[in-house]
A = this chain, B = another copy of it.
Amino acid sequence: MAPNTPRLVHPIDLKKKPWEQKLPLHNRWHPEIPPVANVQVSQVFRVEMVDWTGGVIRDNDAAEDVKSIDLSTVHYLSGPFKVLDEEGIPARSGDLLAVEICNLGPLAGDEWGYTATFDRENGGGFLTDHFPCATKAIWYFEGIYAYSPQIPGVRFPGLTHPGIIGTAPSMELLSIWNERETQLQENGLKSLKLPEVLHTRPLANLPTPNGCLLGKIQQGTPEWEKIAKEAARTIPGRENGGNCDIKNLGRGSKIYLPVFVDGANLSTGDMHFSQGDGEVSFCGAIEMSGFLELKCEIIRGGMKAYLTPMGPTPLHVNPIFEIGPVEPRFSEWLVFEGISVDESGRQHFLDATVAYKRAVLNAIDYLSKFGYSKEQIYLLLSCCPCEGRISGIVDAPNAVATLAIPIAIFDQDIRPQSSKIPVWPQIVRKPDVLKCTYDGNLPITKNHGGATSSLVPQSWQQK
């Protein structure tokens, strides 16, 4: 072995369940989840990881696994790793932890992934009121490229990255999270005046012992009982990094994470072969198992030196990132725009979320004219290397968001043809994505275009 061969600090056996791994996994953030290994600065180490569902979603011909998934069990993370400096002194609270992503990829023998949308009653996605059904597409990898039998005519190079990388929160930070998310859960609908239709989807995912996995802490012990009740879920990105889903965080990137507990307790998981900005379908990247080769540095006192809290406590900070120099290079982009007027025609005030939603809907409808189903494009825009931009955020009342799609990923020219109008329909791309019926209780209405179903209730549209 070469002297610098990465040391494998967290191996994964894909034939075993997440809770059967030799080094146990965890799916919560908590300061008391014990490290599974020590890592030293300047040394490259290798971390393997299961896909975010721990193998629940399979390479098969049905979407039932997507429909019935229990989201209280995700995301399974590898680690935590305790980070030591050259003298063996751990990172300390107040330091910055610089983590370089030296290499990454799928696990050998497991070169596939999936993109999916959840059922509207089970989390849905960004466009769940238009696409309430659970759907799934399988992707196979040919080295840097991915293709899907369910989305024919598309192939693209992945910008592979970890969806989740973060340090353990301190108890103080954990309390802040739980408090603010509880407040949202309790008062959010009322205060935000969201339409009733959204009630089916939780506004926040609060701590729950259901599905909780805490690494070395054995289920059933008093310690487990205590931690399971207060440990934060992994769904949102937060001050510790976590599920930041930054699509450009590929090979050569460097992440500066605040350290809240001694040792930093770095965890990572949720590998994405590729993701579009926004990860719109929610289970939206090309989700896969994989490995990371990482190298750490400790910047002593770096939190104070580099991060200014943007909130009421010194813990209200965010990580900083440097993007790596190796990315797929696209030269031609088709760009869709959205403004903060929703599908009912209602005007919102500088709301980038509404604007981006409309940009994505515009793109889906446009591309469906080229023979794809809308479901194919929804999944595609969630996982291909498209860019979602906040183009204008000041020109009241319209935020302008844009979605830029690299033209080269299609096997046809998807630009408008100025010489002549194409005759519809184009070649229909078959087979389609794998689907499950939506059997929820909420009415589905149609918007003007006739093409897109909308669940936004009439009452809200009239407001």
Contacts and interface: CB of A to CB of B under 8 A. Distances in A.
Interface string A362-403: 100110010000000000000000011111111111111110
A434 interface: no
A123 B413 CA distance: 43
B308 A362 contact: yes
Interface string A89-121: 000000010101111100011111000000000
A278 B345 CA distance: 23
A365 B330 CA distance: 28
Most chain B beta-carbon contacts within 10 A, residue among A59, A192, A397, A421: A397
A455 interface: no
Contacts of A228: none
A12 interface: no
Interface string A1-39: 111111000000000000000000000000000000000
A226 interface: no
Interface in A104-149: 104, 108-112, 125-126, 140-145
A391 B125 contact: no
A336 interface: yes
Copies in the complex: 4
Interface in A205-260: 205, 235-239, 243-248, 251-252, 256
Contacts of A408: 325, 331-332
Contact of A421 (B202, B237, B301, B335): B301
Given A193-B193, A306-B366, A5 B416 contact: no
21 contacts: A125-B394, A142-B295, A157-B324, A188-B347, A192-B193, A204-B397, A235-B395, A236-B395, A236-B396, A238-B339, A239-B339, A282-B394, A308-B362, A310-B338, A311-B344, A316-B341, A317-B362, A318-B337, A331-B408, A351-B351, A352-B390
Contacts of A319: 337
A143 B188 contact: no
A358 B387 CA distance: 20
Contact of A110 (B2, B203, B324): B2
A444 interface: no
Nearest to A245: B392
Q: Is the interface of A mostly helix, strand, loop or mixed?
A: loop
A260 B404 CA distance: 25
Interface stretch (A61-69, A76-84, A446-454): A446-454
Nearest to A358: B310
A441 interface: no
A13 B366 CA distance: 42
A333 interface: yes
Contacts of A448: 309, 311-314, 316
Contacts of A2: 59, 109-112, 140-141
Choose among A126, A244, A311, A392 the residue with the greatest number of B CB atoms under 10 Å from its CB: A392
Contacts of A6: 111
A318 B338 contact: yes
A305 interface: yes
A418 interface: yes
A199 interface: no
Contacts of A320: 334-337, 362, 366, 416
